[in-house]
Chain A
Amino acid sequence: MSYKRPAFRHPDAAINEIGFHQKDYEGALSTLCAGCGHDSISAAIIQACFELSIPPHRIAKISGIGCSSKTPTYFLANSHGFNSVHGRMPSVATGAVMANKDLTYIGVSGDGDTASIGMGQFAHVVRRNLNMVYIVMNNGCYGLTKGQDSATADVGSSGKAGVPTMFSSIDLAGLALELGAGFVARSFSGDKNQLIPLIKAGISHDGFALIDVLSPCVTFNNTKSSTKSYTYVRDHMESTSIADFVPVKKEITASVQPGESKTIEMHDGSKISLSSIAEGWDPKDRLSAINAIHKASLEGEVLTGLLYIDAAQPPVHKLLNTVDAPLNSLQERDLVPSQEALEEINMGFR
Chain B
Amino acid sequence: MSDRSGINDFVVRFANVNGTGSASANTMFAKTIFRMGVPVSAKNIFPSNIQGLPTWYEVRVNGEGHIGRREGVNLMISVNPQSMYQDLKNTMSGGYFMYDSTWPMPREKRREDVHFLEIPLMQLSNEHFEDPRFRQLFKNIIYVGACATLLNMDREVIVGLLRDQFPGKEKVIEKNVKALDLGMEYAKTHWEYPLPFHVTPLDMTQGKIMIDGNTACGLGAVYAGATVMAWYPITPSTSVADAFEKYCKQLRVDPETGKNKFAILQAEDELAAIGIVIGANWNGARAFTATSGPGVSLMNEFIGLAYFAEIPTVLIDVQRTGPSTGMPTRTQQSDVMLGFYASHGDTKHVLLFPSTPTECFEMTATAFDLADRLQTPVLLMTDLDLGMNDHMSDPLTWDADKQYDKGKVLSAEDLDQMETFGRYLDVDEDGITYRTIPGTHPSKGSFFTRGTSRDELARYTEDGAAYVRNMDRLLKKWETAKSLVPSPQFYPDPSGAEVGLIFFGTTTDSALEAMSVLRNEGMSVDGMRLKATPFSQAVLDFILDHKTIFVIEQNRDGQMRSVLINELEVDPQKVISVLNYDGFPITAVHITRHIRQHLPHPQSASAKAL
Contacts and interface: CB of A to CB of B under 8 A. Distances in A.
Interface of A: 1-2, 55-58, 60, 62, 72-73, 77-85, 88, 90-100, 102-103, 120-121, 123-124, 128, 317, 320-324, 327-328, 330, 332, 334-337, 339, 341-343, 345-346, 349-350
Nearest to B450: A83
B272 A328 contact: no
Most A-side CB within 10 Å, residue of B247, B263, B279, B448: B279
B259 A323 contact: yes
Contacts of A103: 283, 438-439
B272 A99 contact: no
Nearest to A127: B268
Contact of B448 (A81, A85, A88, A346): A81
Contact of A95 (B230, B396, B460): B230
Nearest to B280: A95
A82 to B, nearest CB: 4
Contact of A84 (B250, B265, B275, B283): B275
Given A85-B301, A99-B287, A124 B439 contact: no
A85 B451 contact: yes
Contacts of A128: 265
A186 B113 CA distance: 80
Contact of B272 (A72, A79, A121): A121
Interface in B214-233: 219, 222-223, 225, 227-228, 230
Given A80-B439, A327-B261, A346 B395 contact: yes
A349 B280 contact: no
Given A79-B446, A330-B225, 9 more contacts: A79-B438, A94-B230, A95-B283, A95-B287, A327-B263, A327-B280, A332-B403, A336-B398, A336-B400
A90 B273 CA distance: 11
B467 interface: no
Contacts of A343: 395
B459 interface: yes
Contact of A57 (B254, B403, B446, B449): B446
Given A327-B228, A328-B437, A337 B279 contact: no
Closest A-B pairs by Cβ, 4 of them: A95-B279, A91-B275, A99-B285, A95-B280
Interface string B196-220: 0000000000001111000000010
10 contacts: A2-B460, A81-B449, A82-B450, A83-B450, A92-B282, A96-B283, A99-B282, A99-B283, A321-B260, A322-B261
Contacts of A323: 254, 257, 259-261
A199 B396 CA distance: 51
A98 B261 contact: no
A91 B438 CA distance: 17
A107 B476 CA distance: 34
Given A85-B451, A98-B228, A350-B35, A327 B262 contact: yes
B305 interface: yes
B209 A102 contact: no
Interface residues of B, number: 76
Contacts, number: 229
A90 B272 contact: yes
Interface of B: 35, 208-211, 219, 222-223, 225, 227-228, 230, 247, 250-252, 254, 257-265, 267-269, 271-285, 287, 301-302, 305, 395-398, 400, 402-404, 436-443, 445-452, 459-462
Contacts of B451: 83-85
A335 B225 contact: yes
A55 B302 CA distance: 30
B439 A91 contact: no
A335 B285 CA distance: 12
Given A80-B449, A99-B287, A332 B260 contact: no
Nearest to B229: A98
Given A99-B287, A120-B268, A78 B259 contact: no
Nearest to B210: A349
Nearest to A83: B450
Contacts of A78: 442-443, 446
A72 B280 contact: no
Contacts of B210: 349-350
A338 to B, nearest CB: 8
A346 B215 CA distance: 12
A337 B267 contact: no
A341 to B, nearest CB: 6
A102 B285 CA distance: 13
B275 A94 contact: yes
Given A83-B451, A322-B263, A342-B398, A94 B227 contact: no
A62 B260 contact: no
A349 B247 CA distance: 14
B320 to A, nearest CB: 24
Contacts of B460: 1-2, 73
B57 to A, nearest CB: 18
A92 B282 CA distance: 9
A91 B272 CA distance: 5
B438 A337 contact: no
B260 A322 contact: yes
Contacts of B262: 322, 327
B275 A100 contact: no
B261 A73 contact: no
B441 A332 contact: no
A343 B257 CA distance: 26
A94 B438 CA distance: 15
B275 A57 contact: no
A150 to B, nearest CB: 20
Contact of B228 (A84, A99, A346): A99
B285 A58 contact: no
A73 B458 CA distance: 11
A334 B261 contact: yes
A95 B282 contact: yes
A342 B224 CA distance: 13
Contacts of A93: 279
Given A92-B279, A99-B227, A342-B223, A57 B448 contact: no
Nearest to A341: B251
A350 B209 contact: yes
Nearest to A86: B301
A98 B280 CA distance: 6
